[in-house]
Each structure stands twice: as C-alpha cells, then as structure tokens.
C-alpha cells in the first residue's frame, strides 16, 4: 500500500470513528490547509490534523502552528493531532481507540495531552 493511500485511509478511519460518536465530519479536499478534518457536535468544533505511520509519524512545526492559529479564529474549537497506527503490538494509553485494524489517538495542541473527545 502506498504512503498516500495509507494516509487517506487513516483520515477516513478517524472520520468514521468520529461519526460513530455523533460528530458531523467534514474532510478537507486534498488535505489542503491546517486541518484534514473538521468535526462538529453541540457547538463544539474539532480541527484535526491526521498523521499515520507504521513507525513514528512526522509532523512539521508549521503544521502544528497553523492548526493552533486556525483554532484561535474559531470560537469553541480545539486543535487536535490524531495519530493512526496499524493495529500492532505497540504502546497505548487509556484514550487509545481500537477502530478496525487501527489504533487511533487524539492529542490536544499545544499541550500534547492525550484526550478523549468521542464521548
């Protein structure tokens, strides 16, 4: 599987997971802009950058800053990084979500705290 296909499938996995918990999900066309996904529920907005890798995902500082700046312009919004890994024997935390054959984690920026926004 190509890297771009794996990344696209990771975005769909995150979107499907959020949809299962009643979030309205909107994908960025061509993954342009700071957020790959914007999700909304009860007047709360999640601005999500999705990163996926079989190893350690890479994210540039400019991507993080762009997401944080975007969140500052939208009231009641949260900048999140979602890390998606194939279901492997790897470290997980209390907020790790098993979705299909993927492990999904959400981190709020800039604190890098693991969060559970699904429930």
Sketch the domain layout of the chain as residue ranges: 3-115
Backbone angles phi, psi at 5, to 5 degrees: -65, -40
58 DSSP β-pair partners: none
Report the CATH number of the 3-115 domain. Answer: 3.40.1350.10
The count of C-alpha atoms lying within 13 angstroms of the C-alpha of 48, restricted to the half-sphere facing its C-beta, is 32
**pTM of model > 0.85:** yes
Under 8 Å between Cβ of 77 and 47: yes
pLDDT per residue rounded down to tens, the chain (119 residues): 445 666 788 999 999 999 999 999 999 877 678 999 999 999 999 999 999 877 666 677 788 999 999 999 999 999 999 999 886 666 678 888 888 888 899 999 999 999 987 76
What DSSP character marks residue 30? G
């Amino acid at each position: 599987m190509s890297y771009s296909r794996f990344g696209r499938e990771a975005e769909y996995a995150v979107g499907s997971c959020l949809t299962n918990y009643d979030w309205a999900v909107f994908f960025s066309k061509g993954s342009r802009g700071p957020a790959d996904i914007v999700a909304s529920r009860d007047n709360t907005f999640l601005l999500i950058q999705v990163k996926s890798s079989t190893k350690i995902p890479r994210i540039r500082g400019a991507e993080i800053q762009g997401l944080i700046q975007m969140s500052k312009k939208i009231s009641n919004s949260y900048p999140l990084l979602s890390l998606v890994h194939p279901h492997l024997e790897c470290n997980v935390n209390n907020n790790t979500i098993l979705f299909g054959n993927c492990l999904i984690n959400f981190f709020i920026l800039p604190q890098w705290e693991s969060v559970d926004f699904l429930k």
